[in-house]
Amino acid sequence: IKNIAVLTSGGDAPGMNAAIRAVVRTGIYHGINMFGVMQGYQGLITNNIKPMDARSVSNILHLGGTILKTARCLEFKTDEGQEIAYRNLKANNIDGLVVIGGDGTFTGAKRFGEKYGVKVIGIPGTIDNDLSGSDFTLGYDTAINTVIEAIDKIRDTADAHDRLFFIEVMGRDSGCIALRSSIASGAEAVLLPEVETSVNELIEKLALGAATKKSSSIVIVAEGHKQGGAYDIAKKVKETFDHYDTKVTILGHLQRGGSPSSFDRILGSRLGFAAVNALIAGESAQMVGLRGNDIKLTSIEEALSNHSFKLEDDLMEMTDVLSI
């Protein structure tokens, strides 16, 4: 393999820059010409592909976002778009591609790789942690840290005023961010997309807390929760349980940004390093991921399937026990 390109696509996640740096430097270390594709698949179509050297990735390890930018590119979903992308890859003699992104990015990569025989390795970069084959996806840990930092601040004001806060966190259909941040912030309750919790059950729990003199309560609502977002839940609860002054906070996109945690810097570095080594070893259509404390390959096809339940059993059990 002589020429490798790297791109970031879909939603950005902290740690993507650490992965880009590792990809570029591992390739250069092995004498491979390295290229960066700007704005995800969009840059393949517009031929926005630039050579990268070891210095192009200096001082980015600690930065959130992605120096290669990212985009949602509808044209890449069409046959015509993929054809143009392939022609541009060929024109630049690129024989290996590393894509950093989430399930949409991987779906595109799988189709592109199968259709044109392009060698592709995926790096799971999404705060949602919704891919199989990696216990943690890149950005997930930083997002949880950002969430708990925000909740700690909300807890101060909640406590001062005897308030009940409903805090909505990201994760799309995955409750991973919600579950971990509920444990790490000592939330009174958490509502997950994967679990049915009735409003009555929630009220019972909050009432018990109030009866045992909890001065404030925090309920974390995953954005993908089936009975609605934090505003809907807060409204339903308030109709029958009016013990506290009730407030709602939607954390939103601040969860996507910020300097990556040490965990995500190391994970990004490991995954970038492993992705290039996999291409050198002749692998394709694989995702590099963290399993236990090892970096392992999983086929992109498998990574895309069966990610519906990644919540740790003991954490699930603890949510009721530790919040009494």
Write out the residues near ligand ADP by the rule CB under 6 A: 9-11, 41, 72-73, 76-77, 101-105, 107-108, 111, 126
Going by C-alpha positions, the residue among 210, 211, 151 that lies closest to residue 180 is 151
For the chain, what's the residue count? 324
Nearer to ligand ADP, 82 or 323 (CB): 82
Nearer to ligand ADP, 141 or 188 (CB): 141
Q: How far apart are CA 45 and CA 193, in angstroms?
A: 36
For the chain, report the end-to-end CA distance as a whole number of angstroms: 58
Q: How far apart are CA 90 and CA 49, in angstroms?
A: 12
- Minimum CB separation of residue 149 from ligand ADP in Å reads 24
Nearer to ligand ADP, 64 or 209 (CB): 64
Q: 318: exposed, middle or buried (C-beta count within 10 Å: 0-12, 13-18, 19+)?
A: middle
Nearer to ligand ADP, 10 or 133 (CB): 10
- Minimum CB separation of residue 98 from ligand ADP in Å reads 14
Residue number of the CB closest to ligand ADP reads 104
- Minimum CB separation of residue 181 from ligand ADP in Å reads 20
- Minimum CB separation of residue 9 from ligand ADP in Å reads 5
Asked if residues 244 and 216 have their Cβ atoms less than 8 Å apart, the reply is yes
Among 53, 95, 103, 128, the one annotated catalytic: 128
Nearer to ligand ADP, 130 or 188 (CB): 130
| DSSP summary character for residue 215 | S
- Minimum CB separation of residue 260 from ligand ADP in Å reads 17
128 as an active site residue: the answer is yes
Residue type, 114: E
Q: How far apart are CA 140 and CA 127, in angstroms?
A: 4
Q: How far apart are CA 249 and CA 164, in angstroms?
A: 11
* Residue-wise DSSP of 282-298: T--SEEEEEETTEEEEE
Catalytic residue ranges = 128
